[in-house]
Amino acid sequence: MIVKLQNSDLETSNKIRSVFQVSYAIEADLLKATDFPPLKRKLENFLNSSNTFYGYLKNSELAAVVEIDHTDQGIHIQSLVVNPKFFRQGIASKLIEFVFDSYDSKVFTVETGLENEPATSLYKKFKFKEVNQWDTDHGVRKIRFERRLSK
């Protein structure tokens, strides 16, 4: 079940951050990153974020989170994280479908580390197209995807 998460609530933000931490630890390993800024994201950042968070609940446990940033250009999937114990269950796909169904936008964007094969494959499966690659200050090559819909 997908629910909107009230990130301004301390307990909820703690749960969100916990999923981010375990998921991004796996991504940091995939990217061979020793300095990975998403792992340094503080609880206050979640509490005070103006982004919208949705969670996927499995047996009443927060299994995954998608963070949405509304921009002038469209909808940006700021983060999509799945707790590793729920990997390979189609949860990330369900969250992407939810975002497409819930937001009336012609443009959806998302970024990930280039070497994050599970994420890049997922986005390509949903017809996201590569629009940019660049190197970050912390040694990770990133890729930006975009999907334009004709609505």
Average pLDDT over residues 104-110: 95
Handedness of CA 32, 34, 116, 140 (dihedral sign): negative
Provide the CA 61 distance to its chain's centre, in angstroms: 18
Q: Lowest mean pLDDT of 30-39, 60-69, 84-93, name the range.
A: 30-39
Residue 23's φ and ψ, nearest 5 degrees, are -70, -45
Average pLDDT over residues 70-85: 94
Domains of the chain from N-terminus onward: 2-105 (3.40.630.30)
Whether the model pTM is above 0.85: yes
- Percentage of the chain beyond pLDDT 70 is 99
Whole-angstrom Cα distance, residue 107 to residue 103?
10
> Is it the case that residue 122 has pLDDT exceeding 90?
yes
> Is it the case that residue 4 has pLDDT exceeding 80?
yes
At 139, is the pLDDT very low, low, confident or very high (cuts 50, 70, 90)? confident
